[in-house]
Structure 1
Amino acid sequence: MNGHRRDNRWTQGYLHALGGQQREAALRQFLAPGAAPHGTGKPASPAASLLNVRGGTSGTPAVYQEPRPRPPPDTQAAADRVLEAGRRNNKKDDYDKRMEVFAQEMVEGDDEYKAELLDEVLKRDKNAFNSWLKADRLHNVTDEGRIKPTERNTVFQGMTAGIEGDHFNAEAIPVQFIHDSHDPALIASYIELQDTGERDGFERSLTAFAGVSDGRMYGFVTDPDNQSVIRDFTLAVQDHQDWYESQTLDRFQITTSLYGASVHEFEAPITFSEGQLRTMRMGFEHNNGLKTDGELLLAYPDRLERNEAVTQQYSQLSQNMGHLVGPDNANWATFAVWASDEIGRNLEGGLGIELGELGGGDPRYWLSVGNSKLISDIGPAFQHFNEVFADPANRTMSFDEFWSSFESEWGDRGISYLDGKQDRELDLRNAFKAYHEAMQLRQQEVDLASNGPGHEQDIEALADRRSELMLYANTLVGLQEQEIVQPEVEEGMQTLADLGPVNPKGAAAPWVDFHVPGDKPGSERRFDTDSDFPVSGDRVNLDGQFTTVGGETVELDEVLHDRLVSLRGDNKDPSDPDSAATDHWERYGDRMTYIYHLFAEYQRDDSLFTSPRVAFESRAKALNNDPELPPG
């Protein structure tokens, strides 16, 4: 008898889980062949007894009846129970008890019910978030075992459903509650509905994002469902860099009195823990292989550490490009390593920087802005080139196929030369077409060398042609990137913010220089941009032709000469190395002339491939502005 009852219970549970047609088929299968009808004295099978539970006559199986659906919970009654819970006369209400009942009531229905119950509670108790409905209290009653973690999570699920279903405005939930929830889904939904173009919306988004715990940060930034939210948010961080830094950088104020000077430190309003920063960095790098835009600002709040991250990324891009186009010619990313390192030197300070700050400017800020702006705009093209052609099977891919894949992968991310934006001359496309041809020439050299001796002249001719293509490509990238950062260069060399002249009478020229590794380990060379250009003895000269992405065949030396002439606006010949020195680094044409000759003279200097932190020691002293933590 007991076994029969157990069979019945099991069979009923199994059948209830099936759909209608499946359930009917299963019932017939469970009915034992030749089962005796009622009254024959033989025991019926469990399935037969189920068939006779409702309707029919003796021996005639009844049709299975669907269970009656459970009526939806009553949100009005549930809200009554929540708001009555913990009520005490003549003393403060028991808010923990109210939170306990609220979480338990939220479990009773689906997401729609949860959102409606929360909406009803908020309508009746407009002070809920200022009294009992706090994320910290919800976590505490969970930790004390008064509610289950699943019950706590239903509260966050209800808020997420309410936001996404427009049951109430996201701003009805205080951002501090969102932050303290540490719930990734709730935080993502909240950020998605903010207008991050506005300062208030961005502030709420940043505060909410800081609530993602270190244990969940990696999953949050790599979740495929969050990529649109993350992309828009990180671009907003870049756009609001000035305000972002005011919220995430510790501040120091010096006050003086009769008793001397004293320094007061003000902790940043929004901070990230060491664990959050480390997992954030891993997550951002996992997404694209490169940290760009606001990803850099979020993952590296400290300017010096951010600068070293940029420099290291350039170094990796440079090394990877060297494997494809040859390590005997520096690519643009190779030179970018030392330009970024130079920014790090200036972020540390120096006479030029201090004079600019005394004059009312903010050169360190503008250097930092330009530094992260360039890697974010130019870096992705190098990253995609390296990723695609790291696989030898892809090296037969045409340039047009490569560029199409790049646009597909990196479009809609604010990159200046994609999406129909800035790059009127198609400099980046032509640059990477030249890099693509250089890669193919490099492969031809390797193939000829593998055939044994006798091909030295052919290999040398291919190598010379490849050097020309590399110089052309490097210069085109330089033209694009220097145009991108022109506003930051001018701002950084302005004596009075928005008021004073930029580099008046070339006064800043003595402090604009460029350091690269020396010929010996630990040594360095300094190029003064206002002095005659040093001659290397291994200059790359342009003698060949190139077919542009538009199908036009151009002479390399002529096309670059004409571009530089159009930028300068004076009578100097930009092809002459003696015209490279300038007192006015803020002038785009003067700057590009110097950069072109730097590329031509030192492109084949293999010391440029030295690791930056091997050549020069680390300058980063803090992680998240806390000197107690090691740089990382």
Structure 2
Amino acid sequence: MACGTLPRLWPAPTQAEVDAIIRMDDPVLRNLHITQTYHVLKVALTDVLGEEDVNWCGFATWASKTAGAFIRKDVLPALLADLLDRADALTRSIAELQDRLLGAWGASVGVQFVLARTLEDITDEVARHTTRGNFIVFEELAPLYVDLLEKFSGLDAPDGSRLEAVLSRLVPGPVEEGGQDLLIRAVKAYYEAIFTKDGKARAELMFLANALVGYHEQTRLQGPVLAALNAPLREVFLDNLVEFLRADPSRRVRGMPEWSLREAFTPLATRLERLWRELETKTLMRIELPDVTLRLGEDIPMLTSERDFPPHLTRLEHPELVALMAQLDRTPDDTAGSAARDWGSLGDRMNLIVDLFRTRQQDRLLYDQPFTFLQVDAFQQGRVPHGRL
């Protein structure tokens, strides 16, 4: 049995506490509780799995904390300023059309007003899909990790009955059909790691388990990820423009039908949507770690100037892990080429995620607290904390 030395500042969560978080209605408060629960779990699990190799909950803590910025729409002011600034040249290019159709006030203020409202609507959509993804993962995986913690704690020797007790909650079959084969394999790898003394073999088992869990959850997240990336700015902009004009009929050219207005402004709306995709991708494709913000459209940084990965993970030997990396990692044993070219592609996401897991698996900074004590106290009392989260 491993013996963790990290301070236990909060008791390990129970299934009842996880269920209470799942039942929460407020998405902002629920995300804060989800992030904190992952943190407490990753620390508590070191008593079972050891501290040297960070378990999946260590990565989930920071992914959930990053998701919180979108769920709370903290990114909206910066996104709006950037979009309006870069859209200014586009709107000036059709100034004559704006002036003719919207009048002088509409030409100078109206389109920016409509664009600002549109961005609020679109970030609402992104927040909704991010909330859904955050919930989907927690609802399935937090109870599993609590069960793993409860059943595997105190094991000094293999006990097949405890392993079967954890596996019994999982459904065989491919994830695309609602099955949990990847999680079954992950639990078996975690269980084997508990009794593996060799440091390299143990590290590879932990990496295997983390990667399998990551593969499962990213497959489950494909729908919410695509929905967040494909929020229809063009359609929403045109709808809001028509509504803006209807609010004061004097702004419309007399007798001009709605379809003509939509047609006249579709080129601008299309260019604005293209600009939004660029800014959204830049903003969405990141993860905030304790010491750095990783841009997911760029290669995962090397661990040091001399090596990509921790020594135990530099060359992989475990047959199942080698086979999984052959499936998921386009550039085995190298972080070059790890950038996700298309975050909407499951293959691109996993190509990056496995290198993120591999480079940072022994990074003790991942055990840091995501929130201050005052912030935790606030949201445990049902209040969203003030200040930067």
**Distance in structure 1 (CA, Å) of the matches to 2:66 and 2:328:** 24
Q: 1:595 aligns with which of 343, 348, 353?
A: 353
- Cα pair distance change 1:502/1:590, threshold 3 Å: farther
Within 5 Å, which residues of 2 pair with 1:326-475?
326-348=50-72, 349-351=74-76, 357-359=120-122, 362-392=125-155, 395-398=157-160, 401-408=161-168, 410=169, 417-418=170-171, 420=173, 422=175, 426-441=181-196, 444=197, 462-475=198-211
Q: CA deviation at 1:439?
A: 0.7
**Distance in structure 1 (CA, Å) of the matches to 2:334 and 2:355:** 9
**Distance in structure 2 (CA, Å) of the matches to 1:347 and 1:424:** 28
| 8 Å contact kept, 1:361–1:496 | no
Matched, 1:304 2:304: no
Identify unmatched segments of 5+ residues in structure 1: 1-284, 411-416, 445-461, 519-524, 546-553, 566-571
Structure exhibiting the larger radius of gyration computed from Cα positions: 1
2:227 alignment counterpart:
491
Secondary structure in 2 matching 1:474 = helix
Within 5 Å, which residues of 2 pair with 1:105-144?
none
- Cα pair distance change 1:346/1:626, threshold 3 Å: closer
Within 5 Å, which residues of 2 pair with 1:110-259?
none
| 8 Å contact kept, 2:147–2:166 | yes
Residues 159-199 of structure 1: CA deviation (Å, up to 9, x unaligned) = xxxxxxxxxxxxxxxxxxxxxxxxxxxxxxxxxxxxxxxxx
1:320 alignment counterpart:
44
Q: 1:515 aligns with which of 268, 288, 291?
A: 288
Q: CA deviation at 1:404?
A: 2.6
Residues 337-361 of structure 1: CA deviation (Å, up to 9, x unaligned) = 1001111122232148767645476
| 8 Å contact kept, 1:290–1:380 | no
Counterpart residue identity of residue 609, structure 1: Y
| 8 Å contact kept, 1:509–1:584 | no
Secondary structure in 2 matching 1:527 = strand
Matched, 1:544 2:268: no
| 8 Å contact kept, 2:314–2:333 | no
Counterpart residue identity of residue 406, structure 1: V
Q: Higher relative contact order by CA 8 Å / sep ≥ 6: 1 or 2?
A: 2
**Distance in structure 1 (CA, Å) of the matches to 2:162 and 2:138:** 20
Matched, 1:563 2:327: yes
1:482 alignment counterpart:
218
| 8 Å contact kept, 1:329–1:470 | yes
| 8 Å contact kept, 1:343–1:367 | yes
Query: Which structure has greater helix proportion?
Result: 2
Identity %: 24
| 8 Å contact kept, 1:317–1:333 | yes
**Distance in structure 2 (CA, Å) of the matches to 1:378 and 1:586:** 22
Residues 278-320 of structure 1: CA deviation (Å, up to 9, x unaligned) = xxxxxxx76x25414xx4353x332221111101111122112
**How high is the TM-score relative to the length of structure 1?**
0.41
Q: 2:298 aligns with which of 521, 531, 541?
A: 531
**Distance in structure 1 (CA, Å) of the matches to 2:336 and 2:378:** 37
2:88 alignment counterpart:
none
**Distance in structure 2 (CA, Å) of the matches to 1:473 and 1:587:** 22
| 8 Å contact kept, 2:297–2:341 | yes
Q: CA deviation at 1:495?
A: 2.2
**Distance in structure 2 (CA, Å) of the matches to 1:425 and 1:542:** 28
Q: CA deviation at 1:419?
A: 6.0
Secondary structure in 1 matching 2:184 = helix
**Distance in structure 2 (CA, Å) of the matches to 1:502 and 1:418:** 42
**Distance in structure 1 (CA, Å) of the matches to 2:181 and 2:213:** 10
2:244 alignment counterpart:
none
Secondary structure in 2 matching 1:392 = coil
| 8 Å contact kept, 2:64–2:134 | yes
Counterpart residue identity of residue 216, structure 2: Q
**Distance in structure 2 (CA, Å) of the matches to 1:492 and 1:502:** 15
Secondary structure in 1 matching 2:336 = helix
1:606 alignment counterpart:
364
1:271 alignment counterpart:
none
Q: CA deviation at 1:407?
A: 4.7
- Cα pair distance change 1:364/1:555, threshold 3 Å: closer
| 8 Å contact kept, 1:564–1:592 | yes
Counterpart residue identity of residue 396, structure 1: P
Residues 10-34 of structure 1: CA deviation (Å, up to 9, x unaligned) = xxxxxxxxxxxxxxxxxxxxxxxxx
- Cα pair distance change 1:619/1:303, threshold 3 Å: farther
**Distance in structure 2 (CA, Å) of the matches to 1:498 and 1:473:** 42
**Distance in structure 2 (CA, Å) of the matches to 1:427 and 1:580:** 22
Q: CA deviation at 1:405?
A: 1.1
Secondary structure in 1 matching 2:371 = helix
**Distance in structure 2 (CA, Å) of the matches to 1:513 and 1:473:** 23
Matched, 1:582 2:337: no
| 8 Å contact kept, 2:340–2:349 | yes
Identify unmatched segments of 5+ residues in structure 2: 1-12, 84-118, 237-272
Q: CA deviation at 1:382?
A: 1.4
